[in-house]
Amino acid sequence: MAKRTLLKAINRSIILNVIKKHGPIARADIARLTKLSPATVTLQTAELIEDGLIYEKQEGDSRGGRPPILLALSTEAIYVLGVKLTESHATLALIDLQATIVAQRTFGLPSTHPIAVADLLTTETLSLLRAADIPRKHLVGCGVGMAGLIDSVNGICRMSPHTHWRDVPLAEYLEERLGCPVYLDNNVNTLTFLERLYGLGQHVDNFLVITIGLGIGMGIVCDGQVYRGASGSSGELGHTVIDPDGLPCSCGNRGCLETFVADPWLVYHARQAGLEVVTPEELTQLAQSGEPRAVDVFRRAGKVLGQSVANLINLFNPGMIIVSGEGVRAGDLLFDPMREAISRHAFSGLDKEVTLQIEPLLDESWARGAACLVLHKIFETSEFTQPTSIAE
């Protein structure tokens, strides 16, 4: 029985992904592409229609007989919610099964108390559903991304450096209020899911996502799967030690990568050099105008970042590295010295096998990535089941 259930789940996932990639598509073409029997395709697509994940769209071109009925992903009956959560604000995005944002909003957080945050996220979600004229029962899942050490299996924030949460079961709080499955993960992992399902990493089985900004984070994809580590805490690239006698980091250690590259530390180094800047944007503008001290801040940061990336190349041998986040605003001021350091420190030309992509992102992309925690369940793991509907 267990083997039959697993086989059914695998077939369901295969069929759903073929429809995602090739739809609208006829059942006969699904059978041809998947090598599944027509009977299996008919049975599984009937269940997917019943679950609201796909629908019969229109008739295809006739091949000499009755025109086939085409199947496509549902874009009106199923929606998921993505949430980017920070210490000061949250961004919500309602997403359809094509990962298209149909409605979104950003709002401040008057309080970071976990219950207050869960209540406000619920209120804003219901308001967003009403504004988009989407029935509450059509919301089938919610994904939340936030900074910190996250137990994604149990939906618990073990530690957040910004909200100062410890062992907060945020997924449970939201499930009780929203009435749908809620998945919680580190925000860089959510962005990695977005790249894996819909972004630059769709066709790359081994790649890294590095985010630079307020902190430094990393997502890891190995053999097509997002890797989280034994306790879900992999990817803390920002807290790898560069100089044991360096500046004290917020984590309690000294000389972490973040103290060289993260936005607040870039501003700190600029002020130490005598520049009167308050924000990383001001520092970037000064460097772009040719101010030599500002240029030097980015040159030093890029050099250290490149050394760290070279170490990652030596360790993981990835096919692609995607660098993203707010910190990419600096452009070649940061990335030219980074590339030089990668070339200097990568082992035996391994850097020549890596595609390096620089990708600016907005808050809505982080929220879209959080929604991919749910879409991943639907398309790649076959764990998704329709939740019990809640009265309107």
Give the length of the chain: 392
- In this structure, what are the phi and psi dihedrals at residue 245, rounded to the nearest 5 degrees? -105, 15
CB contact burial 334-371 (16+ within 10 A = b; e otherwise):
bbebbbebbeebbeeebbeebebbebebebbbbbbbbb
Phi-psi region of 221 (alpha: psi -120 to 50; beta: other; left: phi over 0): beta
Helix axes 2-22, 38-50, angle to 10 degrees: 80
How much of the chain is helix, strand and coil, in % rounded to 5?
Answer: 45, 20, 30
Cα-based torsion angle of the residue sequence 109, 111, 117, 120 in order, rounded to the nearest 10 degrees: -60
Domain boundaries, the chain: 2-73, 79-192+365-381, 200-361
pLDDT tens digit string along 82-112? 999 988 999 999 998 878 899 999 999 999 9
Residue 58 exposed, middle or buried by CB count within 10 Å (0-12, 13-18, 19+) = exposed
Q: What CA–CA distances, in Å, run from 345 to 9, 101, 214, 341?
A: 45, 41, 26, 6
Q: Taking the mean position of all CA atoms in its chain, how far away is CA 382? A: 19
Q: What is the CATH number of domain 79-192+365-381?
A: 3.30.420.40
Q: Which residues have CB under 8 Å from 100's CB, separation 6+?
A: 75
Question: What's the rounded Cα separation, in Å, for the pair 242 and 300?
Answer: 13
Q: CA angle at residue 206 from 205 to 211, to 5 degrees?
A: 120
pLDDT at residue 388, as a whole number: 39
Same fold, 2-73 and 200-361: no
Helix axes 2-22, 27-34, angle to 10 degrees: 110
Q: What is the CATH number of domain 2-73?
A: 1.10.10.10
Verify cis geometry, omega within 30 degrees of 0, for the bond prior to 67: no
CATH class, 200-361 region: alpha beta
Question: What's the rounded Cα separation, in Å, for the pair 348 and 175?
Answer: 50
The pTM of this model reads 0.83
**DSSP codes joined into one string, 117-152:** HHHHHHHHHHHHHHHTT--GGGEEEEEEEESSEEET
Residue stretches of the chain with pLDDT short of 70:
1-6, 58-66, 363, 381-392
